[in-house]
Amino acid sequence: MGIHDTRLLVAIQDRDVEAIEYEIRKLSNVNYQCQTRHTALHSAVLYNNVEAVRLLLERGANMMIIPFNKTYQNGHECPLLMAMMMGESCELLQLLFLRVLSETTALRSDPAALAVTAKLTQYAMMYTTPRVFFAAFEYDGVVKRVNPAGLTPLMCTLRGVGLYEKSAKKCARIMCNVLTIVDKCTEIGWERYNSKQTAECKNGYTALGLLMFDVIADRMQRDTHYTEALDAKEKAVALAIANGGYAMGTVGGVTPTGFFYPYNEAEIEMSRVHLQTITRNREVIAFFKKDFIPAMFGKMLSSMRTALGMATHVRLGNKVDCSVGQLDADVMNMIFAQVFNSIDNAESELVHMLC
């Protein structure tokens, strides 16, 4: 790394725009990769320095460089996808990349670049805001984009967040964005998994069906596993207390009857971690079952309500003698609310519709 590369990194960290401009002009290779195979553009993204990113892109920095080295793949993405993964707080940075991307026509014929941009809507839905998602969707232009595993962005998001996110609050924030997107693009809720080459989920599943009947089931299975592990520890402690057990060199607590817990500090901490895991897991399950799933299903049904209203409207459907067409909006809403509640409480009906 040359002296100007080092100074540029310091300027990016310090957000010194004047120094950034000067050092970029002095670079002999704007796409130079350091020992970890990162470029100056990677560093600018890492520090969410929008001005540095803009200046580097103007100089010709490559947003598609993936930091490989000769023996292993570095864990980071190319600058474009790395920016998407930085989250909602980097919205301006993400929109800048998408604007520059849309202006760079040469990338639309580059196979390597196309492989990267195919991930844009998936990353945008999972990591950032609806505004960025729709900008990515406008660039991509493919209504039913699926990844190599056959999953749509909605399926990837519900599966990834549903399986692995530990915080119910973070789940709620991400799913709020998902609902905003589905509200504007209801059809993506009805897209179904169809792949013979992979087994990410069962063929015919919608994203909501995958969440309800596979992901939540996996969460509940983990809940049972952790609960049984904790129960086994509690039973062992109870048995030791009943026998008046006390092990020299261990630390625990004195029970009301004067006995000691024969467990060391590490084992007590492990039980505490299990208990926290159970609590968080149950909070996530409760959020999805009580809040997100009904809201998501309601938005999916809204398109059916619109279709019925249009089909039965005297002018649009040309069904003058149809009594349903004479219903006003309030009555129609009440009927659909009843339909929704009856379906929502009937698992077999949900399986039939969503799987």
More confident residue, 323 or 193: 193
Is residue 233 scored above 60 in pLDDT? Answer: yes
Is residue 22 scored above 60 in pLDDT? Answer: yes
CB contact set of 285 (below 8 Å; sequence gap of 6+): 216, 219, 220, 223
Bridge partners of 254, per DSSP, are 260
Choose the most confident range, by mean pLDDT, from 21-30, 248-257, 322-331.
21-30
Section 84-94 average pLDDT: 96
**Domains and their CATH numbers in the chain:** 1-104 (1.25.40.20), 211-354 (no CATH)
Q: What is the pLDDT of residue 176?
A: 96
Section 167-188 average pLDDT: 94
In which band, very low, low, confident or very high, does the pLDDT at 148 lie, cut at 50, 70 and 90? confident
Amino acid making up residue 55: L
More confident residue, 103 or 266: 103
User: In terms of Cα–Cα distance, which of 127, 123, 124, 122 is closest to 146?
Assistant: 122
Q: Is the pTM of this model over 0.85?
A: no
**DSSP three-state, residue 276:** helix
Angle subtended by helix axes 91-103 and 130-140, to nearest 10? 10
More confident residue, 80 or 348: 80
In which band, very low, low, confident or very high, does the pLDDT at 340 lie, cut at 50, 70 and 90? low
Is residue 312 scored above 70 in pLDDT? Answer: no
Section 308-330 average pLDDT: 54
Exposure class string for 294-322: b at 16+ Cβ within 10 A, else e: ebbbebbbbeebeebbeebeeeeeeeeee
Section 327-337 average pLDDT: 62
